[in-house]
Chains A and B, each alone.
Chain A
């Protein structure tokens, strides 16, 4: 403490100067309207920008919560989309006539485990039978098809990913509507095959492949991928088509499980027909 006083005393000229200058500037800011507003503006800019940066950091901590909310919101919006509704036959006149009848609804879930490097890859979701998930439901992400629910426990469910050599997704070309099936050959997680595409179909690189809606698992028109390359093999009636998946399976975090309300009805009817 004594040293501080000694230091100040030694440099009394400078400190006196500082004192007078500070006092002058206080006078300036206190008594001159323009300088006052300029000072307040500048300091507000300064502190405002610091507060903005702090908020930016806090936002990172809330990202998980924000993501969850957005995913819920999306699930709700998907349920209201027209794709989720089945047009009822207008020729049938019933008392409670409605144009659209809901066919699909969506349950949002978080991917808690995922793999891409095996030949049979599975995902684990944080929702299970308690949340209404059942075996054989479709799973999609905002980018496209992810897989099909394989097993369900009360709180979790496993999903057989598209990256599984046993998975087959019924798909079609968006342009021509030709039906094929998408499969994975077990190597590159970004690439798959489109099988059963007859050679008379006109193909182009970059053609979009969407779900066909035939399997009663996925609604029609969900992205699967796009054509990377196609070849004609001698004496075969189908193309050899390489496709790129629209979903990056390495980056999955939130997905939607699709519940087809009318699936049972469709399956039972089909079973009955084939038994006959």
Chain B
């Protein structure tokens, strides 16, 4: 339990720093911006109470907001993502997911499950984020285009980062309760 909390706090800090100091300066072809920090919300344990999920997501979003000085935008997107998370998990359920000690990760549940899980939530997050940014539905297609391209890049980073920070399944680090 302590381990899990520590793990997640560490992930929160590292992802926030990486996002603020590295990824926010990455602008692919002008407007595609990867948002890797949502990995924190994706990797929160299954056992997290749903209301805590919202609180964590809100804190995470607001932290990013404070760095990039767009109060509310990332928070709104993250809260939406956290709200959808239980429903997405329920929809694409796998037999193993509620076994104790399982994390929502590639190592535990496989690449296909993880990509559909992360894909839907990333898309939701980016959609809310970009529409909150332009704040109108004119130029709808351009905004959708931005959402889709950024989702692809973010998803790529999320998956790659999972392989980079590889941990053997059911290791001590992955956090047993």
- Report whether A21 and B51 are in contact in the complex, using a CB–CB cutoff of 8 Å: no
Distance in angstroms between the alpha carbons of A24 and B66 in the assembled complex: 12
Do A32 and B136 form a contact, CB below 8 Å, given A17-B79, A21-B79?
A: no
Distance in angstroms between the alpha carbons of A13 and B49 in the assembled complex: 10
A24-36 vs B, Cβ < 8 Å mask (1 yes, 0 no): 1111111110110
CB < 8 Å: which of B54, B72, B132, B136 contacts A17?
Answer: B54
Chain B hits for A35, CB < 8 A: 132, 135
CB < 8 Å: which of B71, B73, B79, B132 contacts A20?
Answer: B79
- Report whether A28 and B76 are in contact in the complex, using a CB–CB cutoff of 8 Å: yes
Distance in angstroms between the alpha carbons of A31 and B72 in the assembled complex: 8
A38 at the interface (CB under 8 A from B): yes
A12 at the interface (CB under 8 A from B): yes
Distance in angstroms between the alpha carbons of A21 and B77 in the assembled complex: 8
Number of chain A interface residues as a range: 20 to 34
Chain B interface mostly helix, strand, loop or mixed?
A: helix
A31: shortest Cβ distance to chain B, in Å? 4
A214 at the interface (CB under 8 A from B): no
Do A17 and B135 form a contact, CB below 8 Å, given A24-B61, A24-B75, A28-B73?
A: no
Query: What is the number of contacts between chain A and chain B, taking CB atoms within 8 Å?
Result: 64
Those of B40-59 within 8 Å (CB) of chain A = 50-51, 54, 57-58
- Report whether B76 and A24 are in contact in the complex, using a CB–CB cutoff of 8 Å: yes
B80 at the interface (CB under 8 A from A): yes
B70 at the interface (CB under 8 A from A): yes
Do A39 and B135 form a contact, CB below 8 Å, given A28-B72, A28-B73?
A: yes
Distance in angstroms between the alpha carbons of A14 and B80 in the assembled complex: 10
Which residue of chain A is the closest to B83 with respect to CB atoms? A17
CB < 8 Å: which of B51, B65, B72, B86 contacts A25?
Answer: B72
- Report whether B54 and A13 are in contact in the complex, using a CB–CB cutoff of 8 Å: yes
B74-103 vs A, Cβ < 8 Å mask (1 yes, 0 no): 011001101100100000000000000000
Distance in angstroms between the alpha carbons of A24 and B58 in the assembled complex: 9
Which residue of chain A is the closest to B52 with respect to CB atoms? A16
A42 at the interface (CB under 8 A from B): yes
Distance in angstroms between the alpha carbons of A34 and B133 in the assembled complex: 9
Chain B hits for A17, CB < 8 A: 54, 79-80, 82-83
Which of B65, B79, B80, B132 counts the most chain A CB atoms within 10 A?
Answer: B79
Distance in angstroms between the alpha carbons of A196 and B83 in the assembled complex: 91
Do A16 and B54 form a contact, CB below 8 Å, given A28-B132, A34-B135, A35-B132?
A: yes
Distance in angstroms between the alpha carbons of A39 and B79 in the assembled complex: 21
Chain A hits for B51, CB < 8 A: 12-13, 16
Do A38 and B135 form a contact, CB below 8 Å, given A13-B51, A24-B61?
A: yes
- A-side residues, CB < 8 A to B, are 12-14, 16-17, 20-21, 23-32, 34-35, 38-39, 42
Shortest beta-carbon contacts, A-B, top 8: A27-B72, A28-B72, A24-B76, A31-B71, A17-B83, A20-B79, A24-B75, A27-B71
Sample of 16 more A-B contacts, CB < 8 Å, known A16-B51, A31-B71: A13-B86, A17-B54, A17-B83, A20-B54, A20-B76, A21-B76, A21-B79, A24-B76, A25-B76, A28-B72, A31-B72, A32-B70, A34-B135, A35-B135, A38-B135, A39-B135
**Could you jot down 27 A-B contacts, CB within 8 Å?**
A13-B50, A13-B54, A17-B54, A17-B80, A20-B54, A20-B57, A20-B58, A21-B76, A23-B72, A24-B58, A24-B61, A24-B76, A24-B79, A25-B72, A25-B76, A27-B65, A27-B75, A28-B70, A28-B73, A28-B135, A30-B71, A30-B72, A31-B71, A32-B72, A34-B135, A39-B135, A42-B136
